[in-house]
Amino acid sequence: MLSPDQARNGRSVTHSGSLAGAPSRLSSQRHPEYSKLLKVTDRLTFERHRIEYDRTGRYNPLTDTEFPFCIRLFTYRHDDFTAAMTWHEHLELWIPIDSEVSFRMGDRWIKVGSGEILIVDNLKLHTVVDRPGLNARVISIGFLPEFVYSLGSPSYDYYALLPFFNHQERAAHLVRRDAPLYPTMVSTVADLLECYFARELYFQVGCKANLLRLLYALAKHFWVSESLQSVMVRQQATAERLKPVFDYISAHSAEIIAVGKGASLAHLSESRFSRIFKQISGMTFVNYVTHVRLSRALRMLRESPVTIGEVALATGFSDQSYFDRRFKAAFGRTPNQVRISIKSQEPARSSQLASDKLE
């Protein structure tokens, strides 16, 4: 991961060709605030999307307990990013700035246009959907709820967080560029980026002030009402109740895990457990276990020299042909195609490493 200083002082990622960035550049003329954001991002470095996650797909970039906030700048290119389905405890705003990107959350696919602001349903497994020609820079803003609200905070601090918790079965929380408050939001994102990467004295205060301004605009946009406070409380309590289930799946993903086992760990009936589990994770219990296995299989294919058959067995698939079908359904490529792709990239990566050392 790039440090803020590296992002500020490093060179911007150069994109091959100009078509990917053209739509956002042209439309920025209609939004001076978006043009401001582009000018800020052009001074920053975007790293290739590479993230670490555990067997359940859990991803945790927030290691500073005193300042549980971070901004990561990623480049997503076709066949060159971490394609696993992941989830995380922190709340996240996700903004592509060069081209439209397809984003999957649970069983839903969302098209996010350049400059649009997506509130990620963080407890659901999610990922970018790969496609030929994919080449986009993305801003990821992450923070823990307690950065905004904690015990002892006034009740109205809840309001700023409600758009992140009130997903349920509704449409994705996405701010389009024609929204009345969009200029305020995108201008605030630009200010937030400058404050975070400048790292001046007391920058943490500036980051929190800008984040609160952004959350206030988001809350107004989604017309969050006072009566929805209970939604956040219920979902937090439910997620905590399911924690033993997620932990068990992480430790035993290669074994046969029945719905009844999950229900007993959560101390719920099978029918209630199945309903609640889908609300929280975005998919059925069986599909979640399968995705955990497939995420582990993807990592093994990238990092281990063992055969594809051995990967299938190690991740709980006794039938390799079934493993191949499920893997392709999840990632758009067969395990063998992933292996071939990795081998073809090795010379280019070695050349890039040598070039970086020379610089």
pLDDT tens digits for 56-97? 888 888 888 889 999 999 999 999 999 888 999 899 999 999
Whether 282 contacts 297, CB under 8 Å: no
- The DSSP secondary structure of 12-36, one letter per residue, reads PPPPSSSTTTHHHHHHGGG-HHHHH
The mean per-residue pLDDT over the stretch 185-190 comes to 97
In the chain, what are the domains?
Answer: 4-229 (2.60.120.280), 242-342 (1.10.10.60)
Residue 30 and residue 24: Cα distance in Å, rounded?
10
The mean per-residue pLDDT over the stretch 174-179 comes to 93
Residue 44's Cβ-count burial label (10 Å; 0-12, 13-18, 19+) is: buried
- β-partners of residue 110 are 103
Residue 74: closest CA among 19, 2, 16: 2
Average pLDDT of the chain is: 82
Task: Tell me the pLDDT tens digit for each residue of 247-294.
Answer: 898 889 899 999 999 999 999 999 999 988 887 776 789 988 988 898
What pLDDT is recorded for position 6?
46
CA atoms within 13 A on the CB side of 161: 25
Alpha-carbon distance values, 278 to 101, 124, 190, 327 (Å): 25, 9, 36, 21
- Check residues 322 and 282 and name the one with the higher pLDDT: 322
Which range among 5-9, 26-30, 248-252, 263-267 shows the weakest confidence by mean pLDDT?
5-9
Residues 6+ apart with CB under 8 A from 32: 183
